[in-house]
Amino acid sequence: MIIYINDKPCEAQVGDLLLNAAKRNKSHIGYICGGNAICQSCFVYVLEGADCLSKPGEDEKAFISDQLFAESGRLACRTTIVKEGTIRVLTRAEKFRRIVLGLNVPGFITYAQTIGYNVTTKLPSGVSSIVSRVQTGRLNPVDTVGKIASGLGPASQLAMNNFIETFPFMQMPLDMAGNAAKGALDTASGALCSVSGGRLHLPGSTCTTHDKPAESIERITISTK
């Protein structure tokens, strides 16, 4: 079946989490916490097909206010496709981008008020939910940290993509800055390797010294009488 995330058609099937369907189709919904339902980065607005999705569970209710539920808000990491049908969702990041592009000042004010209200009213229940899940073993802190680490890359990429789509004229300056930064890292990494005599590389850098094939070593056998 086809679902629509930010108007992009995505292949999905019954039983899929909205978050996983988005990831498979490179239409990433934010997921800073790695899909552990301890943040709202995967928040989406269900524009159509709410009846094709699972009902909100306790994890979602702990983080989403009645006001946002009334606007068909859901956490994609906890929302499963339960039957086929037309499903359209809009991510929070995309909704914000469209408000900015449309210079919709009243819409921006309403959006900010709604998000602010949700944060202030649901923070206690959200924290309580996390503590309860840790105590009952439904949330593993070590596993959670690992998922957060793996989710940072795609989440930052999503933010960058949204930024470039909103301000396309910034693409070239960002590329130039990125290339300059990588060049500086590569140079520094090579210098560190030379000084240390080993493989002391910086994160995100390469080292031309160690990219070359290793030189063969001539071995000499010395014997004594």
Query: Token digits for 124?
Result: 């206690």
Q: Is residue 83 part of a domain?
A: yes
Q: Is residue 89 part of a domain?
A: yes
Range of the domain at 32: 2-166
49 and 121 share one domain: yes
Q: Is residue 219 part of a domain?
A: no
49 and 134 share one domain: yes
Q: Residue 140 CA to chain centroid, in angstroms?
A: 20
158 and 123 share one domain: yes
Instruction: Give the DSSP H or E segment for 90.
Output: strand 88-91
pLDDT (tens digit per residue) in 127-160:
888 888 888 888 887 776 666 666 666 556 665 6
How many angstroms separate the CA atoms of 43 and 66, rounded?
14
- pTM beyond 0.85: the answer is no
pLDDT (tens digit per residue) in 73-92:
999 999 999 999 999 999 98
64 and 138 share one domain: yes
Evaluate whether 190 touches 202 at the Cβ level (below 8 Å): no
- Overall average pLDDT of the 102-113 stretch: 78
10 and 116 share one domain: yes
How many angstroms separate the CA atoms of 27 and 6, rounded?
8
The per-residue pLDDT for 107 is: 77
Given a cut of 90, whether residue 109 has pLDDT beyond it is no
**What CATH number has the domain bearing residue 48?**
3.10.20.30
